[in-house]
Amino acid sequence: MSSPAAGQLARLTGLTVREARVVGSQHGYQHLMVTLAGGLRAFAKLAADPAPGTPGTPGTPGTPGTPGTADPAPSGADDIAAAFAAEASGLRWLAEAKAVPVPEVLAAGRAALVLSMVRPGQATPEAAFGFGAGLARLHAAGAERFGAPWRGFIASLPLDNTSGPQWPEWYASRRLLPYLRRAVDSGTLGPQDARLVEAVIDRIGSLAGPAEPPSRIHGDCWAGNVLWSGGQGWLIDPAAHGGHRETDLAMLALFGVPYLDRITAGYNDAVPLAAGWRDRIPLHQLHPLLVHACMFGASYRDAVRSAARAVLAN
């Protein structure tokens, strides 16, 4: 077919584009279903300027927001290029562990990202157990340090991946504090809310649990970023970095992934979790809740408060 999108994707992949169909948009990118030469099916993200409030497409990468709320995109061509590069680097890094399937990066450029298609399927208890075991193996593949060597993004927001040797201090300074400041500066969180989160930061060393080495984590592992296909759970749309393995499990619990109990059982069967990990779930959920407060406003204020209070109650 002939269209600007098809031409751009053909130049990027080096393959003839038989079809490029827009199926939605999210985080300021168009989402396209693409058919390449030889019948190869692909999913593409293309830098675009969609109408505000355009809903995302179910089953494609993204983060849930408040219905009808505009979802800001990374600002500027350099940020868009960095966001695509971060996703491509994260997928390739996760794939190296050969633990959980991820889409293949077919091409990555400054204004587009093309991935192999993951055909949708159904979650089952058996697939969930296997996914949990695979997630444990992924984490066990490890990372050199907390952080990552690429610029990070979570949904449409920048993510500071500057490395650090100790997780509690790294999590407080690279994950909690930047988004707390952003939410306060925007007026989404008030002084009382800030004091709650600051109290968590002040006590982070005693709240973080037993010391763990850096794990190879997905980093944005909510239910929408797990696709079920071919009897397996696939990971998409990562904010991958060296982090704490409990972060991915806490994210899965935050928005209700199917068969969470079987995922947890599979994980523990492969690599047992540290004692008290369930009590630390609110600590690991505090960062994504702050991110959501920054992106979607005051509708997440109560969730931030509740998580902070739960952390401090432990």
Residue that is written with structure tokens 């995302």 in the block: 56
Identified catalytic residue from 71, 160, 193, 220: 220
Number of H helices, E strands in the chain: 11, 11
Q: In the numeric block, which tokens belong to residue 141? A: 């593949």
Q: What three-state secondary structure class fits 295? A: helix
Residue that is written with structure tokens 């002084």 in the block: 191
Q: Is 220 a catalytic residue?
A: yes
CA atoms of 187 and 94, how far apart (whole Å) = 36
Exposure class string for 170-179: b at 16+ Cβ within 10 A, else e: bbbebbbbbb
CA atoms of 233 and 22, how far apart (whole Å) = 25
CB 251 within 8 A of CB 220: yes
Question: What is the CA angle 306-191-288, rounded to 5?
Answer: 40
Residues noted as catalytic: 220
